Homo-oligomer: A and B are copies of this chain.
């Protein structure tokens, strides 16, 4: 029997952080050696403890889990990284893998899978939600142009065509054209649906 797996946990919601730690502590072969509430704190704690694995959320204040993953992977390549997030977005998965993460877990999955995922990752395996992985390969990359992105973003915030035009120094007609194009590319029925769709794919 090998030694315990030493884990650092990063998650911005304190209650969830504590709960996840409790969940992992149930496992006799895993020990949570430190807890962080944002990316910067996590970086420090990883440096201090050089754990076997870092389990991190993505959307955190100070430093995103993706940035954190990249930095940790660069400086401490022997620390395995598991991203644990709410968002099943192909774009996030792509970036996580590029940042050197070995695992990408969804908070939607049964609690039991977390410990199992940690173990596998520490044995050098990759663990990715199969459905999401499939989607990441299938999914065409972001079809939006930069302009379309800017415009769709503002539209999603409730701005009118006129306001967006002023914002970006464009004519109102042009804004309508871009919006129409974006709606069409995304197969949506109107700007709102288009914005929601793009957001859900991680393109906004």
Contacts and interface: CB of A to CB of B under 8 A. Distances in A.
Given A192-B158, A196-B157, A107 B16 contact: yes
A1 interface: no
Interface string A158-194: 1010000000000000000000000000001110111
Number of copies: 2
B18 A23 contact: yes
A148 B150 CA distance: 31
A18 B19 CA distance: 8
Interface residues on A, range: 35 or more
A13 interface: yes
A14 B23 CA distance: 12
Interface of A: 13-23, 26, 84, 86, 105-114, 155-158, 160, 188-190, 192-196
23 contacts: A13-B108, A14-B108, A15-B84, A15-B107, A15-B109, A15-B110, A16-B107, A18-B110, A18-B112, A19-B19, A19-B23, A21-B111, A22-B23, A22-B26, A23-B23, A158-B188, A158-B189, A158-B190, A158-B192, A158-B193, A158-B195, A158-B196, A160-B189
